[in-house]
Amino acid sequence: MRWPLIRYIPRSTHFRFVRWAPVAAVISAILIVASIGLLVFQGLNLGIDFKGGIALEITMSRPVPQTEMGAVLDQIGAHDGQVQGFGSPNAALVKFLPSKDEAPSVASKRVEAELIKRFPDLKVTSRSEVGAKVSGELLMSGFKALGVALLLTLGYIWFRFGLSYGTGAVVAVIHDIVLTLGLLSVCGIEFSMTEIAALLTVIGYSMNEKVITFDRLKENLRKYRTTPLRDIIDLSENERLSRTIITGTTALLALGGTMAFGGPVLFPLVFTMIFGIIIGTYSSIYIALPMILIWGVKRNDEEATPIKLGAASRP
Amino acid sequence: MLNLSRWKIIAVTLSVIFGILFSLPNVLPQKTLDAMPGWLPHQKLNLGLDLQGGSYLLYEVDTDALHRERLSDLMEDTRTQLRSEQIPFGELAQQGEVISVRIGDASRYEAALNLLRKNLGAPLAGVIGGKDVTVSGKGDNRIEVTFVPEAQRADAAKAVDQSIETIRRRIDSLGTKEPSINRQGTNRIMIQAAGESDPERLRAVIGKTAKLTFQMVDESVSPEDVQAGRLPPGSEVLQSEDRYAPYYVVKKRAIVSGDELTNASQTFDQNGRPAVGFAFNGSGAKKFGDITLRNHGKRFAIVLDKKVISAPVINDPITSGSGIITGSFTAESANELSLLLRSGALPAPLNIEDQRTVTAELGAEAVKAGSISLAIGAASMFVFVILAYGLFGGFAAVALVVNVLMIIGIMSMTQATLTFPGIAGLILTLAVAVDANVLIYERMRDEANAGRTPMAAADHGYKLALTSILDANITSLISGLIMFSFGSGPVKGFAWTLVIGVFTSLFTAIFITQVLIGWWFKTTKPKKLPIA
């Protein structure tokens, strides 16, 4: 047993990452199209943060009879009623919309009373009523936050590394966001303010990966002035491999603990973050770097004429 | 880099001490905390409503309703002014934002214009000689009166400020523990009351406008006229809570309003029934005295939120400036009304937009789940990083512990709110903090493999990894700040945790490990890096 375990990770690997880029591009393209299709045809499961309505978190002393409760909601005029499992079988999330002529607070009290009448052991542990006006604004401000965060970090990368890096990062991060939204859509995870936070974290982690990879790439471009770009990309990626494995594993371990023990409130948030870490690592290697390869980079800032990479170095 | 300069050691030691000191109150029992000397930090983490239970209410101030009311008052003022000078007029009407009137006697057109210009409206704040209304002649003996656009904005802003003040007074008198009442956006008010699991209690006192007015009853109108909808201009029909009459016709213009009250309290009338006693300020007392003197035997209506509470007959002039309001009160409702009157009326109606409640039990469960996941997340990271890097991994784990202490310490100190998503933010921060150490250690390995001495390799590791670490942290700082400025509620808490984490992680991952590794080099003088 060699200890510390870092010695097990090979010191110099020679994976030909770039060679698989065309395959990755096809896979990514398919996934992107599928995600967009899902978003268009199925859409996101907007939570009451963004849709407005009433949500009651309930607990019972026995497993919640979900179908029975759903039927009761229909009878007592709770529109669009939904009963979702929430963590333990004895807990559930009851969501519905108030009718137009009933104030949300009145509707929520009335439905609560009706439910308790029919299920005497039911207890409401949390209650949310969101007006349609606020919810619309929250959705707008959420996406605005996403947009501004994206633009600013891109501006930073452009300023720090250059336009081609910036473009590579944009495409890769948009790829990550679209796939994450696609995942949320396919799993029917409720899209709430917290999910916006998760998406921003996904952007943050993904950018972090890109910046660290670009940093090494830029350094190697200065070190090996005549080596073809695709080889330098492979080299930089191989040099970064042990770091990527270790950091990715630590992040996944930390979040894995939270996913298992954090309860139903944290689950969607952490689930999104974990997916984001995986997809962010993938897109650094297979989207951001190949984009730079296609776009080309200035090899040397001191020389006025950049070395022509030519078509030969393209995949 | 690895030379252990004195300031570096001092900074590291101090940060560890402060981290422990400021996060300590969170684990000490309250009794020990109370017994501690005053100069030691006492503040615990400020848990968000999702973690400790409580109510969150978001109201919108209906500034449109306020504006409509102001326009209607302006029309009544125009009428009163023209009447007071006996200028004949007709076609007084409101069209959208504009009040227009036609002067009947062309020779008095100029006089009417001057009169209205002089007496209508109030001075506009910030503009010398400016008024909040414009009075303009339109030819054909027409005059148009309207508010200037700034007036509407100023009114709205003032209404929100006043509403916040009024809500604060009302909630304070309920004895709710440390409510936070803040403006959000242009016309929203956010109320957070920790530990308050029954928002209905809050809403009962917040939602009422509590606009009290004293208005003369218009006794010239017969019930038939009311049925037919024939009302003289300037009068209106109001619903009544009086058991003797379902409605009253009253003059629209108030003789005295609740703004002029100086005090209100629960009391009893001569028959021992609950009533509300009130007292006017000087000008209110004078107005009330004059009116009651001139209107002997007539009725006036006491109107609360457009509903007549009672309409007593004036038997004697009331010049003392105080009196009682009788009606169908219970002791509680009389008490609630006097509370509302004392804290003042809301300048505009409030509409509830968002209301969330979490019970304390659920909050406690959330804290438990959050702490367990944090502990397990951190522990698995410690184990992994030590397994991966051995001794150096241990150093990184020490840095992580200090990092957690510093984040909790800073959050306790600044009383920033820790929310449930904030715990997830904390865990991710730790993961990214480890990344900084991984970057440094991987650089060291590279440098050692390239043939540098252990000392030089370690030194270069720190130097070369620094730019990557900075770049990475700047990008997460950017997204943290964006979340903080655009997000609300739990997202803000999440963002704040991230931002604090960026700074503490940079410090601990770079300096703490550096001091530890430097000290290790000094004591063991190694021939080989343990991770090479």
Candidate from B435, B446, B488 with C-beta closest to A247: B435
Select, from the ranges A64-73, A273-282, B173-182, the one with the highest average predicted confidence (pLDDT): A273-282
CB contact under 8 A, A250 and B435: yes
Intervals of chain B under pLDDT 50: none
Residues of B whose CB is below 8 A from A203? 479
Contacting A residues, span 96-155, partner chain B, CB-CB under 8 Å: 103-105, 109, 124-131, 133-134, 138, 141-142, 144-145, 148-149, 152-153
Beta bridge partners of B248: B238
Q: What is the pLDDT of residues B93-122, one digit of tens each?
A: 888 888 989 888 888 888 888 888 888 877
CA distance linking residue B499 with residue A302, whole number of Å:
37
- What was the pLDDT predicted at A307? 45
**Closest Cα of chain A to B438: distance in Å?**
6
Mutate to test the interface with B, among A93, A193, A201, A245 (most CBs of B within 10 A): A201
pLDDT above 90: residue A125: no
A247 touching chain B per CB within 8 A: yes
Mutate to test the interface with B, among A9, A250, A274 (most CBs of B within 10 A): A250
Contacting B residues, span 388-427, partner chain A, CB-CB under 8 Å: 388-393, 420-421, 423-425, 427
Q: What is the pLDDT of residues A173-229, one digit of tens each?
A: 999 999 999 999 999 888 888 888 788 788 888 888 898 889 899 889 888 888 888
pLDDT above 80: residue A83: yes
- What was the pLDDT predicted at B400? 93
Say what the pTM is: 0.78
Mean pLDDT of chain A: 85
B69 touching chain A per CB within 8 A: no
Candidate from B431, B446, B449 with C-beta closest to A250: B431
pLDDT band, residue A32 (cuts 50/70/90)? very high
- What was the pLDDT predicted at A305? 43
pLDDT above 90: residue A106: no
From B475, which residue of chain A is nearest by alpha-carbon distance?
A153
pLDDT above 80: residue A298: no
CA distance linking residue B218 with residue B135, whole number of Å:
30
- What was the pLDDT predicted at B207? 74
B475 touching chain A per CB within 8 A: yes
A222 touching chain B per CB within 8 A: no
Q: What is the 3-state secondary structure (H, E, C) of chain A?
A: CCCCHHHHCCCCCCCCCHHHHHHHHHHHHHHHHHHHHHHHHCCCEECHHHHCEEEEEEECCCCCCHHHHHHHHHHCCCEEEEEEEECEEEEEEEEEECCCCCCHHHHHHHHHHHHHHHCCCCEEEEEEEECHHHHHHHHHHHHHHHHHHHHHHHHHHHHHHCHHHHHHHHHHHHHHHHHHHHHHHHHCCEECHHHHHHHHHHHHHHHHHHHHHHHHHHHHHHHCCCCCHHHHHHHHHHHHHHHHHHHHHHHHHHHHHHHHHCHHHHHHHHHHHHHHHHHHHHHHHHHHHHHHHHHCCCCCCCCCCCCCCCHHHCC
pLDDT above 80: residue A38: yes
Q: Which residue has the higher pLDDT, A164 or B420?
A: A164
CB contact under 8 A, B424 and A251: no
From A132, which residue of chain B is nearest by alpha-carbon distance?
B353
What is the mean pLDDT of the segment spanning A59-64? 89
- What was the pLDDT predicted at A312? 43
CA distance linking residue A117 with residue A111, whole number of Å:
10
